[in-house]
Amino acid sequence: MTTTLPIHDAGGWPRPAMAWWAVAVFFGAAVLSYTDRQILTLLIDPVRAELAISDTQVSLLQGLAFALIYSVAGLPLGRAADLFARRGVIIAGVATWSLATLACAYARSFEALFVARVFVGIGEACLAPAAMSMIGDYLPPQRRGTAFGLFMLGMIVGGGIAILFGGALFEAIEQGLVAGVPLLRDLSAWRAVLALLALPGVLLVLCLFTLREPPRRPLAGDTVARALPLGAVFDDLLRHRRVLLPLYLGLALMTFGDAAMGNWLPALLARKFAMGAGAIGQLYGGAVIASASIGVFGGGMLADRLVARGLVASRAQVSMWAALLALPGAFAGLGGSAYLVVFGYAWWALMSSAAAAIALGALPDLAPAHMRGVAIALASFGNIMLGTGGGTLATPFVNDRLFADPLQIGVAMTLVTVPAGAAALVFFWRSARAAHAAIPIFQHKAA
């Protein structure tokens, strides 16, 4: 049996100190997860040079390696979060992606690196469904938006750390940082970076062991919080498809734009403006951390205000406005200076992350306890399969087919991102219309 946390009020919610400690641990897990995932973005050119691979093959390592595994393992792992102790699911995931990151450092071919990246994806697919499900049971609805915003902030910070500190670490290794360290001294700089990033997983696992499994809480009107047969779960999802499907598509298309620009912007800065890894890290990494942090945290706080006013159905509408405001940033790839390029992407990241935080914050309120893991895994599936996988591949695909010129990667980014952002706006609008039509179903409050 799992041990539940002591309560602090008549509602039976876990003590706030323990709940927010859990959120802090999940924040750390998200940081490490996205650092390990995004670090390859900074290492594109040295990886290409050593393994003699193309931009398209690099995009497969960045995107398809994750998309494939999310399509196979994401939903079963989301189901596991509904059936088993969620803490154990996360611990297994952290151990898997940390060992796989270490394997990436020693991969000697494109094929070996691809397989290792797939296992990074397997481990990371465990995190979001289980963590967001636990947050939904740690905190009442009027506090969840902020908590989800902090969890998503970890993803943003992780991506920024991969660029900001990854660049500094890469240059320090090139200058002899690990020259006397066994197992690392004979590795090229990009390999040593990956090997070092595998180590924090040990500390994260120790922190996860300090958490306890909170009891699963049903939504108002539900009689049980136990997991139902998978067929019943998908029947419930189908009943809410007019709200959930366009919400998922809007989220996925904003992630598509994030990947189409974010995964190739360091390459653009290096190729067009001759910037080194350290300079890219300072400019691009810092801008991403600052802008997206404001977006996800501000979006989470706004989501809490909407719930407190009984306006769960309005969240997709606010995401629609955020997507509209993001569109000018989609033209970042056309900027005539490095600063203009980074500023444009920072604006996109600010609005995109706000839209995502608000939309994702709705899921635990829309999905009953017995299906939250699957509902969140479906959002992750769309974000990874269509978003990260498709967006990362689309930019070099368009560049190869239309220009066949590495210096035109910025134009390709724009051609891919603008229509993706416009389509996301339309899907958020459709979700908002359906949610308002379904009132009072989507204005309930959790018990």
DSSP H stretches of helix in 281-408: 286-308, 315-326, 338-366, 372-382, 391-402
Q: If DSSP states are collapsed to H, E and C, what string results for 75-100?
A: HHHHHHHHHCCHHHHHHHHHHHHHHH
This prediction's pTM: 0.73
CA separation for the pair 442, 436 (Å, rounded): 8
**pLDDT in the model for residue 375:** 79
**pLDDT in the model for residue 86:** 93
The sign one gets for the Cα dihedral 62, 65, 68, 70 is: negative
**pLDDT in the model for residue 367:** 64
CA separation for the pair 329, 261 (Å, rounded): 10
For 28, 85, 90, 254, the CA distances from 131, given in Å and listed in that order, are: 12, 11, 7, 22
CA separation for the pair 75, 70 (Å, rounded): 7
**pLDDT in the model for residue 374:** 76
CB 362 within 8 A of CB 72: no
pLDDT digits (tens, 9 = 90+) for 38-60: 888 888 889 988 998 888 888 88
CB 377 within 8 A of CB 81: yes
CA separation for the pair 180, 186 (Å, rounded): 9
Map residue 221 onto helix, strand or coil: coil
pLDDT digits (tens, 9 = 90+) for 7-41: 444 457 888 899 999 999 999 999 999 898 888 88
In this prediction, the residues of the chain whose per-residue pLDDT falls under 70 are 1-11, 66-67, 70-71, 218-230, 303, 306-308, 310-313, 364-370, 372, 438-447
pLDDT digits (tens, 9 = 90+) for 384-441: 778 887 898 899 999 999 999 989 999 999 999 999 999 999 999 999 888 777 654 4
Domains of the chain by range and CATH? Answer: 16-216+233-439 (1.20.1250.20)
Map residue 7 onto helix, strand or coil: strand
**pLDDT in the model for residue 84:** 87
Rg (CA), the chain: 21
Nearest to 300, CA basis, from 343, 360, 232, 352: 360
Map residue 446 onto helix, strand or coil: strand
